[in-house]
Amino acid sequence: METEVRVSGVGMTPFEGDSQRPLADLAAAAAEKTLADAGVDPADVDALHFGNALAEALDESAGLANALAAALGLDGASADRVENTSATGASAFHRGVDRVESGTADIALVVGAEKMSAGDTRSVTEAISRLVHPREYAQGVTLPSFGGLAAGAYLDRHDAPREALAAVAAKNHRNAVHNPVAQFRKPIDVEDALDSPVVAAPLRLYDCCPMSDGAAAVVLTRATDEDDAGHPAGPRVAGTASATGTHAVAERPDPLSIDSVRTAGERVFDRAGIAPDDVDVACIHDAFTVLELIELEELGFYDPGNAWVATLDGDTALDGDLPVNPGGGLKARGHPLGATGLSQIVELVWQLRGDLPESRRVDGAETAFAINVAGFGNNSVCTVLRA
């Protein structure tokens, strides 16, 4: 059953590789844009949920939610921090939806922020490497390692060419060209991706998302009508659902099976009362190009082995039957862990409101889907929005 919760305001900072702004400033900037977009006075916010994954690991301070509440003037609001590795942003969003849906908050502000450049490459790599199971860590396994194993298995099983992965990267870079908040606005073609350095064979550099700085935010309400100042009630949250999977990736019976993705997808489609065919635009967690293909198949958008064909045929392009990652995805918009899931929601709200330029708009979109994935499928968090 659809919730009564509306996304009444959205906003985000540009995603960058090396922002000059501190984490707290990034978060506050996204929050202020969002409150202005919603036409909400900070004093009226009664719940703040702040998503951040790596602050302590990168020597930032704790107590982020309380500091942000004070900085924004959310006097007396309840506040907490949400952490769910790469899916932190979507999990924070779900907490806010739950608060408003349950009636324990009338107006919730959800902010996700990350400043991955706060640490040197070694410390960031170490922090992300620690997301894997300790016995995997002992083998030097990293998230790109999982991506390489899955990509090799995907190409082998489905007799797909290497270009199938490169086409995902080229498509998402193309979508980011006209997105002013994207980290990479440079188009690449399939040959560029095929010629880039190997990271974890067969994955190459352009198959992998970058490390990013940035913040994104939403305001959630139960408004039903446009307010006096003309702020729309906003798209409805038709459904939210999440599911965990195995911590150790090797324990899955099939390297191309991500149970958490499939289960969370089934749950959210059931709760929203829709089927994959009803979705007009999707944000898919493409931390690696092969993940976009596997997730599209696990979620039921395509049969196993067909997502790569659909990608090469242009079905997932901006003007295709199912536009996927119209803002560039993690691949090109960027992946500041705590903000990514919220940036997917921001993008989809922009699409549903139709307030994007024609160069990057999915015309007539009424139903939107997002999946934000923790680790390599340790936890998947899905959302369906309706215009």
Closer to another protein by Cβ: residue 61 or 139: 139
Nearest to 187 by CA among 320, 329, 328: 328
DSSP code for 45 = -
Smallest distance, another protein to C-beta of residue 296, A: 20
Q: H-helix or E-strand containing 7?
A: strand 6-12
Kindly state whether residue 252 participates in binding another protein, applying the rule CB under 8 A.
yes
List phi, psi (to 5°) of 300. Answer: 90, 10
Maximal CA-CA distance, the chain: 60
Kindly state whether residue 144 participates in binding another protein, applying the rule CB under 8 A.
yes
Smallest distance, another protein to C-beta of residue 153, A: 4
Kindly state whether residue 377 participates in binding another protein, applying the rule CB under 8 A.
no
Kindly state whether residue 145 participates in binding another protein, applying the rule CB under 8 A.
yes
> How many C-beta atoms surround the C-beta of residue 357 within 10 A?
9
Strand partners, 208: 288
Closer to another protein by Cβ: residue 111 or 131: 131
Closer to another protein by Cβ: residue 89 or 255: 255
Please report where in the chains the tokens 């199971």 appear, as a residue: 133
Kindly state whether residue 247 participates in binding another protein, applying the rule CB under 8 A.
yes
Smallest distance, another protein to C-beta of residue 122, A: 5
Kindly state whether residue 142 participates in binding another protein, applying the rule CB under 8 A.
yes
Smallest distance, another protein to C-beta of residue 249, A: 7
Find the helix packing angle between 163-176 and 289-298, rounded to 10°: 100
Supply the DSSP string of 50-96, one letter for each residue: EE-SSTTTTT--S-HHHHHHHHHT-TT-EEEEE--GGGHHHHHHHHH
Binds another protein by CB under 8 A, chosen from 125, 273, 314, 321: 125
Binds another protein by CB under 8 A, chosen from 87, 118, 164, 199: 199
Q: Which stretch binds another protein (CB under 8 A): 175-183, 195-203, 237-245, 259-267?
A: 195-203
**Which residues are CB-contacts of 271 (< 8 A; sequence separation ≥ 6)?**
1, 2, 238, 239, 240, 241, 384
Residues that bind another protein (CB under 8 A): 122, 125-126, 129, 133, 135-136, 138-142, 144-145, 148-153, 156, 197-203, 246-253, 255
